[in-house]
């Protein structure tokens, strides 16, 4: 299954990919209507997921251009504001308020592509002599779900939804590695890690992977790199990028 995601917001594109994680999907992304048209004609997707307010042309003119070019593709239009027009749905077009839960998104796609979505096969179990523990701190539930799916194949995974909870869970869970979003409610990832390392000498050298969708956070990390082993990943990142970093930190221990 090939899906084109057309949205100007990188975080929204990332969220959609996470929600579709359970299925066998090949993705391509577009940031505006011009890229959406050219990508559709080149990629020839089975489905287009696009923002109603996709700049500069909005969703319907974009789909009309794709159709005029000779390509008719089932499309899911995301409505992100309550004031947006409640557009009529048809056989090849569905609308969905966004952000959307996984069940609502899957239900909308089933109407567009009945029986065509293939569930991703479970990865084979990995035999390890000593299971390492990874603690995730991320306030977005869908991203925590994605990371848990990635890491659960090989590691014991713990979760927290903000910086304060990360501190508490670290004391109890005693992870071998922490993955934390930079910007979170109650306490940022930067400050939570600083507090963890200051309060307990056992955690001074715990590896930390900071994640963020903001380029400025990457620049801040490079300029003011915290003490102790750490790395930074800019969202969206691939599974291979993440697993490679984790392996480099804890597999040799």
For the chain, what percent of residues have pLDDT higher than 70?
91
Please write the tens of the pLDDT for every residue from 129-162: 468 999 999 998 888 888 988 888 789 999 999 9
pLDDT at 125 over 70: no
Average pLDDT, the chain: 86
Q: Does 2-112 match 133-250 in CATH topology?
A: yes
DSSP reduced 3-state for 20: coil
Token pair of 35 as six digits: 């890229």
| Contact call for residues 117 and 1 (beta carbons, < 8 A) | yes
Q: Taking the domains of the chain in order of start, what are their residue ranges?
A: 2-112, 133-250
Average pLDDT, integer, range 59-79:
92
Strand order in the sheet with 26-30: 26-30, 2-6, 47-51, 75-79, 93-97
Q: Which helix (H) or strand (E) holds 191?
A: helix 189-199
Residue 110 has a pLDDT of: 87
Q: How many CB atoms lie within 10 A of CB 240?
A: 8
Which DSSP symbol is given to 201?
G
Q: Which range in 15-24, 185-194, 218-227 is most confidently predicted, on average pLDDT?
A: 185-194
The pTM score is 0.54
Helices 141-152 and 239-250 cross at an angle (nearest 10°) of: 60
Q: For residues 190 and 83, give the distance between their C-alpha atoms in angstroms, rounded to a whole number.
A: 37
| Contact call for residues 189 and 210 (beta carbons, < 8 A) | yes
Token pair of 158 as six digits: 């713990």
Please list, in sequence order, all residues whose beta carbon lies within 8 angstroms of the beta carbon of residue 153, skipping any fewer than 6 positions away. Answer: 123, 125, 126
Q: For residues 6 and 52, give the distance between their C-alpha atoms in angstroms, rounded to a whole number.
A: 10
CATH hierarchy code of domain 133-250: 3.40.50.2300
| CATH architecture for the domain at 2-112 | 3-Layer(aba) Sandwich (3.40)
Residue 82 has a pLDDT of: 64
Q: For residues 124 and 126, give the distance between their C-alpha atoms in angstroms, rounded to a whole number.
A: 6
Which residue in 123, 124, 144, 146 sits closest to 135, CA to CA? 144
Residue 116 has a pLDDT of: 86
Q: For residues 159 and 169, give the distance between their C-alpha atoms in angstroms, rounded to a whole number.
A: 8
Please write the tens of the pLDDT for every residue from 47-63: 999 999 999 989 989 99
Q: Which helix (H) or strand (E) holds 241?
A: helix 239-250
């Amino acid at each position: 299954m090939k899906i084109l995601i057309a949205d100007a917001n990188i975080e929204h594109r990332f969220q959609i990919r996470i929600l579709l994680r359970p299925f066998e999907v090949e993705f391509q992304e577009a940031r505006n209507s011009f890229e959406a048209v050219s990508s559709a004609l080149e990629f020839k997707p089975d489905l287009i997921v696009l923002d109603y307010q996709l700049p500069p042309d909005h969703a319907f003119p974009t789909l009309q251009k794709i159709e005029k070019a000779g390509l008719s593709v089932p499309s899911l239009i995301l409505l992100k504001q309550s004031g947006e027009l409640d557009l009529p749905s048809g056989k090849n077009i569905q609308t969905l308020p966004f952000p959307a839960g996984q069940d609502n998104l899957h239900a909308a796609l089933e109407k567009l592509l009945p029986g065509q979505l293939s569930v991703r096969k479970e990865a084979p179990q990995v035999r390890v002599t000593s299971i390492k523990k990874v603690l995730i701190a991320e306030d977005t539930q869908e991203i925590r779900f994605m990371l848990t799916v990635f890491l659960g194949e090989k590691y014991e995974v713990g979760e927290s939804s903000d910086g304060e909870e990360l501190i508490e869970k670290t004391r109890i869970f005693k992870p071998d590695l922490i993955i934390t979003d930079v910007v979170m409610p109650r306490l940022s990832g930067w400050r939570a890690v600083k507090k963890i390392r200051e309060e307990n000498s056992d955690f001074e050298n715990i590896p930390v992977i900071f994640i963020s969708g903001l380029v400025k956070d990457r620049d801040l990390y490079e300029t003011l790199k915290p003490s102790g082993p750490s790395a930074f990943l800019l969202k969206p990142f691939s599974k291979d990028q993440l697993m490679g970093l984790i392996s480099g930190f804890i597999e040799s221990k």
